[in-house]
Structure 1
Amino acid sequence: MRKKILVTGATGFIGSQLVIKLASTGDDITILVRKSSDLRPLESVLNNITVLYGDLANRGAIGEAMKGVDQVYHSAGLTYMGDKKNALLYRINVEGTQNILDAALEAGVKRVVHVSSITAVGIAKNRVPVDESVRWNFDEINLEYARTKHLAEIAVAEAVKKGLDCVIVNPAFVFGAGDINFNAGRIIKDVYNRRLPFYPLGGICVVDVDIVADTIMAAMDHGRTGERYILGGENVTYKQLADTISRITGAPKVRLPLPFGIAKILKSVLDRKKNKNKISKLFNLSMFRVASEFLFYNSEKARRELNMSVAPHEESVRKAFEWYRDRNLLN
């Protein structure tokens, strides 16, 4: 039976790849986007979907969009590593999610998949990958983005208690084709352009965007109500990731390790120099603080229950690089 599906965050990296896949299913796909949203990532499927305009803060627009909807993929959110947008992070990630959940309950939506983040899961201590059961400990870093994603999951848990059928997915560090806004792909661009002379001492869990989108759809079909699923792949240090990028792009290796304590001093020096823009935008202290930890995850639950596939991180990085290169986006 043809389903009516609503997707938020459809112009983002994960959201756009999800919508492209959904558009080929034969279901009725509607996306809720802001008037200012860039629809270029969806240009190949715009004739096959319905576009509605509205903001996560606009309860009326959300309520209208929910009418007659069977399933909702809520992938909208603000990703920002810093402390200058705390109020906006809360408004979008927490209050916006609450508005989606309330509207879904009121409209009688059959199921919601909430696309969260690994920052709502926790940090791996001693490099031991953590799973969905770990206690949230990102408060040790004092990162507002992580706090808002954690609070959004608390809101989901409350909605489930009220009767909403909702599943949570937590994508890791996502690479692949289609990252027009240079989310994870920023590190590829900066290593390629020699703007990242050093690497942080932590590590990250890398996953391909195609795998993430496929598994989000599997979560809608097979995920258990109220459960969360980490969508990850290989756990690599930033040194390993930088070496992979150098090997694929032909750029020189990034050879300088940079502990966070020294990074704080270096950042204050660079901020006073006129040529500070020659250093990667990734080098802000909030982001570097996170990158000094090990965000290593065990995705066995998603593999077991959602049949999530796996791929080497090198394959995902190569796909992203080739996509950027073919579109002349690396300069």
Structure 2
Amino acid sequence: LGYSCGLPCFKHKATSTCMAPDPSNSSSSFILVGIPHLEAFSSCLGTLFCSAYIIALLGNGAVLLVIGVDRSLRQPSHCFLAMLAVVDMVMVTSIVPKMLSVLWLNTTEIGGTACFVQMFLVHSTTSEESGVLLAMAADRYVAICHPLRYRAILSHQTIARIGLAIVLRAQLFMVPLSWMVINLPYCHSHVIPHSYCEHMAVAKLACADPRPSELYSVAGSSLIVGTDVAFIAASYGMILNTVLGKRSCRKALSTCGCHICVMLLYYIPGIVSICAQLFDSTVSVPAQVLLADLYLTLPTMLNPIIYSMRTKQIRGALLKMLFSRKLQA
């Protein structure tokens, strides 16, 4: 690890990180390092992330299949669960296949357009996931605090509007950020010390000041996550206020248990990953990259497992689909 031109310099087979300024070479392609300083463990890391990817696809695919096939799973909570599964599949697919090609095949080059598309998908899906978790918290609040009006409040039209609002919010956040990053001049290094095109890692390669895009990213993501967490906390505060001291308290808290687990699984690694990037002087580069990778892959793998284990209807529908022939016999 060395420094030149004010940028970290990683040596790579294909190219050196510290290239002389060349405006004509602006963002034509980038080089993904993978996980810096852990190249000796590339095969093992690739196997772990491949396993997580397969589990995520199978788990979320099974959840979507069960909800689509079983007509009894048409509650608003199941619609939000389907949204979460779709977002998780897009999120993990946007990074893991390219990560595996870097770790296993040493195919480190990624085109400029592909890099920016990957960056857009990664950061927009993280915003969408937070929005879906907020919608699921609102669903639990209405189901527990206003059970008689549950269907009226969360009609199919309302759910569709909520889903559209979640997607639009993510796009409105990412379009300006993508425009700022794309229009930066990349005339120095094109080597990204990361396993995917993470926004801050890409912006730091520019030979212009990347701080406007970094400030916008931090402010926008903090506003989105902060607002969502505040509303989620408020909804669960009202749920506790409603059920405490009542016979239905245990049952109500049990139905919220899997949602709380999913929220903790998503927000805690995300906050730790963001703090690690903001205070990178105290956290090693491999640790930052691994945290970012786990933040995107671990929840997508565990979410369907948590819901299939904790949600009786999903678990029952899965078992019925898997063993229907045996049951009929």
- Which structure has the highest helix share of the two? 2
Determine which structure has more spread, i.e. the larger CA radius of gyration. 2
Interval of TM-score (by shorter of Structure 1 and Structure 2): under 0.3
RCO higher in structure (CA 8 A, sep ≥6): 2
TM-score normalised per structure 1: 0.26
